[in-house]
């Protein structure tokens, strides 16, 4: 996702924010947050066991807490559709032209683990025809309101959401948390990949009802992208 962490720092105007990172993958963005904010506290949510393993190798910092769960509209368990596939590139295209696409897949060190989702997923979607969802695994789910209440969280400075089409589920379980959050950043528009994903307009309308307004300068206008919102009462 594209929002520069320096921009977030300028918006928050503090060195010790409390940040919720929903969909932390292997800690790429986590590491940037840790570098940018000296005294932050960041809670990172990630359900994919492949990513959790990488995250634990990469991030060893007491300012960061990893929660091994998917954000959803209910506490419990669900099936996580595991993403796989090889995005196009010069090497891949060469192997494919030679009829060796499967050999390339077998030789690749890492399969694509960036797009796993709790939502019904579509292999070979229109926007990403190379993307597959061949396997699934059972994972824990947490409702954001349950988690913030259970951990006595009184204020959240920033929510960074990258949860692959499950945005509606997350928002349905986050009404109280959104009331105490200053800024919210999320993806939208993954309609061809995930059943039930929100459009740009739907996302804006839902967040407006929760008291948020769009920050156009840091929001996408294409059919797929990211949106930044500010809480009208807290910013």
CATH 3.40.50.150 describes domain 5-79+144-231? yes
- The pLDDT tens digits for 68-121 are 999 999 999 999 999 998 777 656 666 656 665 555 555 555 578 999 999 999
Residues 90, 163 contacting (CB under 8 angstroms): no
**What is the rounded (10 degree) CA torsion for 181, 9, 60, 2?**
90
Mean pLDDT rounded to a whole number for the chain: 92
Q: Residue ranges of the domains in the chain?
A: 5-79+144-231, 80-138
For residues 27-48, average pLDDT: 97
Strands (E), the chain: 18-22, 41-45, 64-67, 70-72, 76-84, 132-143, 156-161, 181-188, 212-214, 225-231
232 by Cβ neighbours in 10 Å (0-12 / 13-18 / 19+) ranks as exposed
* pLDDT beyond 80 at 46: yes
- pTM value > 0.75: yes
pLDDT score at 96: 59
Return d(Cα 17, Cα 37) in angstroms, integer: 8
pLDDT on residue 35? 96
* Spatial distance between the Cα atoms of 133 and 84, rounded to a whole number of angstroms: 6
Query: How high is the pLDDT of residue 15?
Result: 96
């Amino acid at each position: 996702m594209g929002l520069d962490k320096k921009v977030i720092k300028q918006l928050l105007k503090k060195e010790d924010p409390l940040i919720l990172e929903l969909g932390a993958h292997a800690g790429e963005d986590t590491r940037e947050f840790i570098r940018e904010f000296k005294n932050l506290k960041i809670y990172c949510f990630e359900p994919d066991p492949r990513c959790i393993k990488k995250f634990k190798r990469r991030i060893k910092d007491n300012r960061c807490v990893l929660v091994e769960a998917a954000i959803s509209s209910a506490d419990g368990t669900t099936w996580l559709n595991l993403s796989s596939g090889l995005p196009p590139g010069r090497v891949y295209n060469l192997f494919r032209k030679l009829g060796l696409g499967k050999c390339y897949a077998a030789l690749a060190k890492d399969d694509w683990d960036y797009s796993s989702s709790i939502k019904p997923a579509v292999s070979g979607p229109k926007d990403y025809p190379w993307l597959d969802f061949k396997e699934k695994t059972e994972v824990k789910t947490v409702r954001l309101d349950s988690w913030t209440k259970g951990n006595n969280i009184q204020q959240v400075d920033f929510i960074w959401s990258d949860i692959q089409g499950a945005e509606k589920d997350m928002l349905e379980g986050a009404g109280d948390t959104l009331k105490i959050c200053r800024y919210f950043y999320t993806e939208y528009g993954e309609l061809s990949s995930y059943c039930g994903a929100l459009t740009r307009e739907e996302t804006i309308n839902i967040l407006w009802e929760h008291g948020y307004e769009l920050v156009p300068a840091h929001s996408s206008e294409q059919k797929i992208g990211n949106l930044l919102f500010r809480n009208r009462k807290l910013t």
